[in-house]
Structure 1
């Protein structure tokens, strides 16, 4: 599996590269204790820091990063990004643009005729034949002051133009800087082949396996991590 990222040669020295998502795990997750006391249980229980599916989802794929600091004053956005003119005709130079509210009128995330911001793309993305690019808000990152809108792009075919990432700004009173390098979209390739859905009741062997698996998970910690979690290959560049 190969994802190829390309950019304008004049801008390449100024752009943060897309990075493996596992390298952008947030500080709040690193600081979280492995266990915490539960009044309901009357004992310490494991936190989501010890939940491999929770962490693996956050570490999956690649992260697109904000290319420069963005100053925000209650919904007004500005930046001071000194970069050369792109060498490519029609290429954006601003880190942000916008979608007017009419473009998503009636959607559940539309609020008070508020425009959406759009994180402009400075990298094209090419996936192998038969694979599309799934782009979404950085997983479990409710700490970010925006919500990136999820999209699916056939990046094996559309790979010579930038993929932009629309987002809703959800912190109307925010005043401060969204720093360069902030994750703005989490991306990973997905196969486009049709799914075959099969439905069937447990047979005797599956019923026994279900009961044994549940009993093992309830009896000891880290059963999933030790017995079922697949080893992740390291991303290379």
Structure 2
């Protein structure tokens, strides 16, 4: 991803999203579930050559992925004829602190991937003795190639279940002054957010 690219609209090079900290920070937030092996794909046909380690428990998956019937997404935005619905199998159990749930979603800003993960929220402070699997809709029917080992298939973020208290008010007085000054600072020079507001994560 280049840091700058030519803009015909501006007739000059401009900064790309690579220089946008919120864009980059969102991609690195939480933790990723990674594909455990290479998966060969040929227009909807999937295969792999993987000797999974021996398991010591019953019911543990032995394949990197399995499939759902298309009927399971009937009436959703993911319904598309005979849509191919995958399930990326989990080889991890995830336990969170009391009061926290696990939000699992498509890897953020990764629209290049040939699938779209279905987002889900799991109360992983209670459900943690078995793996969490990750369903996805295959979006590129013509894809031929390899899904490489280590490719992110899900991005997971612990979130508190306690609802925040929201306050709404009119923007006026000192708050309005701070607003105007902040906007002026951002428009006057690059990297204001990164230098003054961004926090180490």
Q: TM-score range by the shorter chain?
A: over 0.9
5 Å-filtered alignment, 1:136-215, equals 136-215=105-184
- State how far apart, in whole Å, the 1-side matches of 2:117 and 2:13 are: 35
- State how far apart, in whole Å, the 2-side matches of 1:103 and 1:110 are: 9
- State how far apart, in whole Å, the 2-side matches of 1:138 and 1:177 are: 18
Q: How many residues align?
A: 201
1:70-113 C-alpha deviation (Å, 9 max, x unpaired): 11111011111112442101111111111111111010111112
Match of 1:44 in 2: 13
Superposition TM-score, scaled by structure 1 size: 0.82
5 Å-filtered alignment, 1:51-90, equals 51-90=20-59
Match of 1:231 in 2: 200
Structure 1 portions without partners, runs of 5+ = 1-28, 233-237
- State how far apart, in whole Å, the 1-side matches of 2:52 and 2:11 are: 57
1:90-147 C-alpha deviation (Å, 9 max, x unpaired): 1111111111111110101111122300000010101111111011111111111111
Change (3 A) 1:39 1:115: closer
Superposition TM-score, scaled by structure 2 size: 0.96
1:216 matched to 2:195: no
1:130-167 C-alpha deviation (Å, 9 max, x unpaired): 11101111111111111111111000100001100001
5 Å-filtered alignment, 1:125-144, equals 125-144=94-113
- State how far apart, in whole Å, the 2-side matches of 1:139 and 1:203 are: 35
- State how far apart, in whole Å, the 1-side matches of 2:26 and 2:53 are: 37
- Any runs of at least 4 consecutive aligned residues in structure 1 with deviations exceeding 3 A, and if so which? none
Q: Indicate the SS of the match to 2:24.
A: helix
Structure 2 portions without partners, runs of 5+ = none
RMSD (Å) for aligned C-alpha atoms: 1.1
- State how far apart, in whole Å, the 2-side matches of 1:147 and 1:55 are: 20
